[in-house]
Amino acid sequence: MPNQINPSQIMQIGMGFWASKTLLSAVKLGLFTHLNGTPLTAQELGDRMGLHKRGTVDFFDTLVSLGLLQREGNGENARYTNTPETALFLDKDRPEYIGGVLEMANDRLYPFWGNLEEGLKTGQPQNEIKQRGENFFEGLYSDPERLRQFMEAMSAVQMGNFITLAEKFDFSPYHTLCDLGGAAGLLSIQVASRHPHMQCLSFDLPPVEPIARENIAKSGLAARVTAVAGNFFEDPIPRADVITMGNVLHDWNLENKKLLIQKAYNALPEGGALIVIENIIDDERRENTFGLLMSLNMLIEVGDGFDFTKADFDSWAKEIGFQKTKVMPLTGPASAVIAYK
Ligand SMILES: C[S@@+](CC[C@H](N)C(=O)[O-])C[C@H]1O[C@@H](n2cnc3c(N)ncnc32)[C@H](O)[C@@H]1O
């Protein structure tokens, strides 16, 4: 019956954490890296991963049914291989590896989202800083391993967006770029590698600078990309023709968002551009599920930080003095919103 309503969508979403945690565990346990190139039986693969035999066949076949593994044959002698996608993106030995964000999701976000109800009732963060009341980044960066994992996660999430921005945005009228909260320097590297006339600064907190410096050195672009240590609330923002902020504004409450937009405005020349790369929510707040979930994730991570729509950004930018704004879709749920001075 075409109009018959049924509960399958409710059940699929309600039990969605089963599938999610199965993938996160596979990434964490290095399953896709163990399979690089070699078809393996369940026993061989389980042995390499150090798994108890009770769960192996269920674990691997669940991934087959989710389209995240391939299996040739049935029964004990069946052999498992990666799909084209998992071979490219989830093998740790490949430069295209995007598992960093999934490892962080497994280790941090998955347990912290278990306290979503408490976050909804109190408006307070539910992560490492829950008990200690410190700044999110101070808390995160006090452990070098967590800092490294966070940087890898950020790079994995934004790689496609930064490449698309570097290819689609017209950098020809500009010469200098400053990426505020530039993390591992990825945006600056992508822009500099495609636009030989651009000089880029990646600006971030002191513990992040050595990581950016190392990445910039590896990219061979050190002559045109510089890592700068600073605090964008306390220090002056370097002057540049283009100022970028990737997933920075959503970390902060409205007052701090406006302060950062104002500081960017002050550091730009007439005609300069502020580019904000985030999971910009559609103006009616109905469509961009990932952007809306990201805003809940900001509740879990920082409490009063939140994601926003193009209309929100437009009103803040115009209030501060920008002439016009426009939106540029990037990959998946992410867009750039651009404000011109
Ligand atoms: C969510 S991450 C986004 C990183 C990167 N822009 C991206 O798009 O993947 C936010 C970044 O802002 C940086 N940050 C936070 N507070 C800062 C401050 N007060 N001054 C400078 N950078 C800061 C963090 O260290 C982190 O790298």
Kindly state the tokens that stand for 305: 């930080």
Residue 1 pLDDT exceeds 80:
no
Residue 24 alpha carbon to ligand 1 centre in Å: 25
Residues 194-203: what's their mean pLDDT? 98
Structural domain of 73 = 8-89
User: How many separate domains does the chain show?
Assistant: 2
Residue 118 alpha carbon to ligand 1 centre in Å: 26
Residue 103 alpha carbon to ligand 1 centre in Å: 19
Residues 55-63: what's their mean pLDDT? 98
Note the pLDDT of residue 2.
59
Residue of minimum CA distance from atom 1 in ligand 1: 247
Residue 3 domain-assigned?
no
Residue 276 domain-assigned?
yes
Residue 297 pLDDT exceeds 90:
yes
Note the pLDDT of residue 153.
87
Note the pLDDT of residue 133.
67
Concatenated DSSP letters of 59-127: HHHHHHHTTSSEEESSSTT-EEE--HHHHHHS-TTSTT--HHHHHHIIIIIHHHHTTHHHHHHH----S
Residues 293-315: what's their mean pLDDT? 97
Coil, helix or strand at residue 225: strand
Residue 149 pLDDT exceeds 90:
no
Both 40 and 116 in one domain: the answer is: no
Residue of minimum CA distance from atom 14 in ligand 1: 181
Of 47, 64, 89, the residue at which a domain comes to its end is 89
Residue 28 domain-assigned?
yes
Of 89, 122, 157, the residue at which a domain comes to its end is 89
Both 255 and 233 in one domain: the answer is: yes
Note the pLDDT of residue 296.
98
Residue of minimum CA distance from atom 8 in ligand 1: 246
Both 153 and 67 in one domain: the answer is: no
Of 89, 117, 145, the residue at which a domain comes to its end is 89
Which residues are known catalytic residues? 250
Residue 142 alpha carbon to ligand 1 centre in Å: 15
Q: What band does 130 get if pLDDT is binned at 50, 70 and 90?
A: confident
Residue 152 pLDDT exceeds 90:
no
Average pLDDT of the chain?
95
Q: What is the pLDDT of residues 203-241, one digit of tens each?
A: 999 999 999 999 999 999 999 999 999 999 999 999 999
Residues 132-139: what's their mean pLDDT? 79
Q: What is the CATH number of the domain that holds 272?
A: 3.40.50.150
162 and 168 in contact (C-beta within 8 Å)?
no
Residue 155 pLDDT exceeds 90:
no
| Ligand 1 binding site (Cβ under 6 Å of any ligand atom) | 137, 154, 158, 181-183, 204-205, 208, 231-233, 246-248, 251
94 and 100 in contact (C-beta within 8 Å)?
no
Q: What is the CATH number of the domain that holds 28?
A: 1.10.10.10
State the Cα–Cα distance between residues 106 and 87, nearest whole angstrom.
20
Residues 142-151: what's their mean pLDDT? 88
Residue 158 pLDDT exceeds 80:
yes
